Amino acid sequence: MLTANLQHLDKDYDVVVVGGGPAGMAAALGAKETGAEKVLIVDREKEAGGILLQCIHPGFGLQHFREELTGPEYAERYKQQVLDAGIHVATDTYVLDIDQDKQVKLLSGTDGVRLINTKAAVLSMGARERTRGAIRTPGHRPAGILTAGLAQKFVNLMGYLPGNKAVILGSGDIGLIMARRLTLEGVEVKGVFEIMPHANGLNRNIVQCLHDYDIPLHLSTTVVDLQGRDRLEKITVAPVDSHFQPDLSKSWDIDCDTLLLSIGLIPENELTRRLKIRLDPVTQGAVVNSQMETSKDGVFVCGNVVHIHDLVDFVSAESELTGRNAGLYVTDQQPPGDNIRLVPGENVRYCVPHTISSDRTHTVYMRASQPMEESILRLGDVYEKKLRYVVPAEMINLKVRPRFLQNFHGETLKVDILPVDNT
């Protein structure tokens, strides 16, 4: 367990990291490596590690550690490094506010309300799950309707089951993982329903969590009614047309007492908003430069608070970079600023970071809007790369190297994903 390793908080820090999940831990380590001396991780739970701790299934670390780990194992690897690096960890501690001068107001289980100062801040608060209100599912409001992540917490951390017969709305990864998890626990999982014509989770999860357990996946279908006064008793599902309008004449009922929602994640940017940092309406995270610094000087971001990742491995990589830059910031070694703005074009929902510099190598993360078979990823006129297939569920990352940009003198670069026959 990575619990608090200090008696009391100090008054001043070089870098304060908000959130001790995979993003926060990697960022804290990165900051230490580039010279930040006093680094503090603040986590609201009794133990740092974030959502990894409730992800007891394997499949983590294939990219980053070249071996397959469970969530808690992945967190454990970082925990040891964090302790060895002498990073302060405050658990059961919540950041109530950060002001423009980077004074941080904390509510700490051991120290009560405290004000501390920091030279740089890393925001790595992660994401929250979308709830029923976000999709306004009609019907009653009984017990038994909950997000997949909360169900995961009940089962894996608290040791309780959310019900007897379950249906899952949305094909996000947590929903798929929970379909398998509940089946293994003896809960009857009657199906996964996805309003989009394609699944929203990773293909490997569709195979390993649904196909292997004969759990049906119904695409272009959604829940149109919920029945049951005290506890959920029955739901009605119906196919939708291309405008997502349900065809009620083809609806059918399913007896179930539990509905898990796996309908997407929303970056937790309340602190970011309070700092009046510029946000990207598409990612719902901060607009960042290639150092993962926001519009507010000395405030950096990483992980799901910037954009939703599908693999923790990418979170680690991105966050380590963020932390390194925060360390460079507090030791006055920041590299020069960016000179090129990336603009999402055809079939590209967003790019992170939003700007890059032509004299350094950057990893640019992006997501497609639509699935596409054979396609070409094109960076303005300067670079292109064949992609086997793209799906919105799987993040694309591209190493942009200085040599691509040798002969480029513009200020904006459009990023497109085009079908092969159109190029």
Partner 1 sequence: MVYDVAIVGGGITGCAIARELTRYHLQVILLEKEAEVGFGVSKANSGIIHGGHHGKPNTLKGKLEWTGNQLWDTLHEELGFGFQRNGELTVALQEDQLPTLAELKWQGETKGVPGLELWEQEKLQKEEPHLSPDIIAGLYAPTTGVINPYEACFNLIENACLNGLELVTDCPVTGLSQDKDYWTIQTPKGEYASRFILNAAGLFADEIAKMAGVGDFTIRPRKGEEYLLDKRLQGYVKRVIFPCPTPVSKGILVIPTFDGTLMVGPTAEMIDDKHDLTTSSAGSSQVFNSVTQVVPGISARDCIAEFAGLRPVADGEDFIIGPTAKRGFFNVAGIQSPGLTAAPAIATLILDILHEEGLNLSPKDNFTPSIEKPIHFASLPTEAQMELAKRDSSYSHLICRCEFVTEGEILDAISRGARTLDGLKFRTRAGMGRCQGGFCSGRCMELLSQKLDIPVSEVTKRGGNSWIVRERDEVFSSDV
- What does the alpha-carbon distance between residue 408 and residue 403 come to, in Å, rounded to a whole number? 10
Q: Minimum CB separation from partner 1 for residue 24, in Å?
A: 16
Contacts of 400 (CB under 8 A, 6+ apart): 356, 361, 362, 363, 364, 379, 383
Round the CA-based radius of gyration of the chain to a whole number and report it.
Answer: 22
Q: Minimum CB separation from partner 1 for residue 162, in Å?
A: 6
CA 418 from centre of chain: 26
- Answer for the pair 140, 128: CB distance below 8 angstroms, yes or no: no
Q: Minimum CB separation from partner 1 for residue 187, in Å?
A: 9
Q: Minimum CB separation from partner 1 for residue 109, in Å?
A: 5
Q: Considering Cα of 78, then 79, then 85, then 88, what sign does the dihedral take?
A: positive
Q: Minimum CB separation from partner 1 for residue 136, in Å?
A: 5
Omega within 30 of 0 (cis) for the link into 402? no
Q: What residues pair up with 260 in beta bridges, in sequence order?
A: 146, 168
3 state DSSP class of 31: helix
- In the DSSP assignment, the letter for residue 46 is S
Q: Minimum CB separation from partner 1 for residue 155, in Å?
A: 8
- What does the alpha-carbon distance between residue 29 and residue 84 come to, in Å, rounded to a whole number? 10
Q: Minimum CB separation from partner 1 for residue 306, in Å?
A: 18
- What does the alpha-carbon distance between residue 385 and residue 145 come to, in Å, rounded to a whole number? 44
Question: Closer to partner 1 at the Cβ: 281 or 336?
Answer: 281
Contacts of 296 (CB under 8 A, 6+ apart): 100, 275, 276, 277
Residues binding partner 1 (CB under 8 A): 44, 92, 94, 96, 105, 107-113, 115, 128-129, 131-134, 136, 138-144, 146-147, 149-150, 153-154, 157-164, 185-186, 225-226, 229-231, 273
Question: Closer to partner 1 at the Cβ: 31 or 174?
Answer: 174
